[in-house]
Amino acid sequence: MHGQRLDAALVLLLPHTGVRHRRRLFETHTVLVNGKPGSKGRTVQAGDVLSLSPRKEQMRCAPSSSFTGGGDERDGRDVLMADSVQQKVRIVREHAGYAAVFKPGCMHSARIAGSAPDVPAAFQAAPSLEDLLPQLFPDKGAENTPMLVNRLDYLTSGMVIVAFGNERLETFRRMENEGLVEKLYLAVVHGTVSAPLHLAQGLDMARRRQTRVLEQESDDPLRHTGVLPVRPVTPLSQVQPEAACPQDGRVNTPADCTLVLASIRKGARHQIRAHLAHAGFPIVGDPLYGVPAPQPGHCTRNGTADGEQTPSHSSILYLHHHHIEFGEFCATCPPPWDEWAEWEPAER
């Protein structure tokens, strides 16, 4: 393994896992090289000793096998699990052979293809939403197997749609290809959006990590993004109290941000995130396309000068799949943002 990346070298510890599984372990475990934390891309040298240590916050996040429910009413039914991201998963609506399931941020939509069942529990990657479908819908027969029909990025919150059986899955795909599916996302972006936008630039998704926006427009309207400004807002992550840096007397003012409604018909990987950033309005909290984090020595929201931020807000990507309509199905899910109670009346 000399000269290999650390995420590849982990195959020595977990020989039955694929590279995607090993990369996801960095979200739930600290990977140690000679007793010190290492990043995915670190180069491993001959003689290095590798080990895995579950993070303390993840040791309290084992999914529970107990679910609550019962009765025929499924709208808004919460699925209870342990104190973790998975605890927030819930069924928003089930109707006409489909269901909308709320996925919180910091959770993968799809399971890792080819995951090995004999991997020790301590080294399993965090459960994806797809892993939880059999528990969310325990009474579906083989002909109505729950299947994901869309995906959300790891940091994006909102509704993931589930089809019950291949026939309904294919029906959704057909409607999506015909432009008959409307998806609305709420996003908070840096800058002032003062008028509606129609973002039609083509997208180059050849690079797996990041989508590149092309200069020429796409002739496929299913890949366009419509943006409607809702109102100016100040996310908690952008509030910088004057008391943060009393030593130099600087006055910190919140950055200009706008709550917007983004509309897509089909969508491509990172479409909304890439389109908005290319237009000059990156989404607040976006680590790939967004505004760089504050540098050491600058004031930050929690009043420190070392770049540290309060975890409950510093890691939020302000992008949420809010509403969907297709055929006989429609569902709406409010975002989990602390500020939404203040912002919601103006959005109606």
Q: Which of 328, 324, 327, 332 is nearest to 150 (CA)?
A: 324
> Per residue in 186-215, pLDDT tens?
999 999 999 999 999 999 988 767 899 999
Q: Which of 91, 123, 84 is nearest to 107 (CA)?
A: 84
> Per residue in 97-128, pLDDT tens?
999 999 999 888 987 654 544 445 444 556 78
For CA atoms 241, 246, 247, 250, the dihedral sign is positive
Predicted pLDDT at 245:
46
Range of lowest pLDDT (40-49, 59-68, 88-97, 218-227)? 59-68
Write down the domain spans for the chain: 1-60, 66-178, 179-348
Task: Give 47's pLDDT tier (boundaries 50, 70, 90).
Answer: confident
Question: How far lies 93's CA from each of 56, 59, 76, 96, 308, in Å?
Answer: 34, 31, 6, 10, 38
Predicted pLDDT at 98:
97
Range of lowest pLDDT (58-67, 128-137, 189-198, 276-285)? 58-67
Judged against a pLDDT cut of 80, whether residue 16 lies above it is answered with: no
1-60 belongs to CATH 3.40.190.10 = no
Provide the percentage of residues in the chain whose pLDDT is more than 90. Answer: 45
Judged against a pLDDT cut of 80, whether residue 224 lies above it is answered with: yes
Per the model's pLDDT, the better-predicted residue between 1 and 199 turns out to be 199
Predicted pLDDT at 347:
43
Task: Give 26's pLDDT tier (boundaries 50, 70, 90).
Answer: confident
Q: What is the mean pLDDT of the chain?
A: 77
Please report where in the chains the tokens 């943006």 appear, as a residue: 227
Cα distance between residue 341 and residue 130, in whole Å: 30
DSSP at 4: -
* Ramachandran quadrant class, 266 (left: phi over 0; alpha: psi -120 to 50; beta: rest): alpha
Predicted pLDDT at 206:
82
Per the model's pLDDT, the better-predicted residue between 42 and 160 turns out to be 160
**CATH code for the structural domain at 179-348:** 3.30.2350
What value does the mean pLDDT take over residues 265-286? 93
Judged against a pLDDT cut of 70, whether residue 243 lies above it is answered with: no
